[in-house]
Homo-oligomer: A and B are copies of this chain.
Amino acid sequence: MDFANYFPIWNKLTPAHKERLTNAAELLKSKSGTVVHNGSMDCLGLLLIRKGQLRVYTLSSEGREITLYRLFEHDICLFSASCVMPNIQFEVIIEAEKDSEMWVLPSCLFKDLMEESAVVANYANQLISSRFSDVMWLMEQIMWKSFDKRLAAFLLEESVLEGTTALKITHEKIANHMGTAREVVTRMLRYFQSEGMVKLTRGAVEILDEDKLEALAE
């Protein structure tokens, strides 16, 4: 079954576990813009990303967003099964940023496997550690890095992900990724424009001077 290729510990599993996973796994397709998982309201299961791009973010009580990390092909999403981990006391929202396909392994099955198999439990451990490292990296950026450097890095990252220097993205959307207000983004983008680094048009940001942006982002 194709999904075995997306589960890095497949070869370390027992034949019985492999069979249970094979029987339970289902392919889920999500259109770009769809919310795949919403906080504690659901507990879909472990997601093995077959293709596409997902964004994992949190929401403040006032509705402000910040992107924690993104998931790509071959990544595994644990927080869509966070109900099986009693000590996870925060909520995230997972949204398809591009048309995506993923294998879903039901939460209850994953919980059983974690309890029965040290291999699976240690693998879950590695997944949490990776995401924890992502969030620590983000927190250090927020704490110690000025907003101009963060915005420069964000534009360069988007450009790599989209494969173009002409980014179709609104200031509002950038603000939601970075956990700030739209006005703050607009002000900084205008400064970037005045420095010749970008060109702003309606609903789009074009990168003109990649080197200068890179130097700014460090």
- List chain A positions with a Cβ less than 8 A from chain B: 58, 60-62, 64, 66, 85-90, 114-118, 120-122, 124-133, 135-140, 142-144, 179
B136 touching A64, Cβ below 8 Å: no
Known: A61-B144, A121-B121. A128 touches B132 (CB 8 A): yes
Query: Of all chain B residues, which has the CB nearest A124?
Result: B125
A132 touching B130, Cβ below 8 Å: no
Known: A122-B114, A125-B125. A139 touches B139 (CB 8 A): yes
A144 touching B64, Cβ below 8 Å: yes
A179 touching B143, Cβ below 8 Å: yes
Residues of B within 8 A of A115 (CB): 118, 122
Tell which of A90, A124, A133 has the most Cβ of chain B within 10 Å. A90
Known: A118-B118, A139-B142. A130 touches B87 (CB 8 A): yes
Copies in the complex: 2
Query: Of all chain B residues, which has the CB nearest A134?
Result: B89
A135 touching B133, Cβ below 8 Å: no
Which of B87, B126, B129 is the one whose CB lies under 8 Å from A126?
Answer: B87
A133 touching B60, Cβ below 8 Å: no
Query: Of all chain B residues, which has the CB nearest A122?
Result: B121
Cα distance A179–B122 when bound, in Å?
Answer: 33
B87 touching A133, Cβ below 8 Å: yes
Cα distance A179–B139 when bound, in Å?
Answer: 11
Q: Can you list 24 A-B contacts with CB-CB less than 8 angstroms, sorted by A residue number?
A: A58-B136, A58-B140, A60-B140, A60-B143, A60-B144, A62-B144, A64-B143, A64-B144, A85-B126, A85-B129, A87-B127, A87-B130, A89-B130, A89-B137, A90-B136, A114-B125, A115-B122, A117-B118, A121-B121, A121-B122, A125-B128, A128-B132, A139-B139, A143-B179
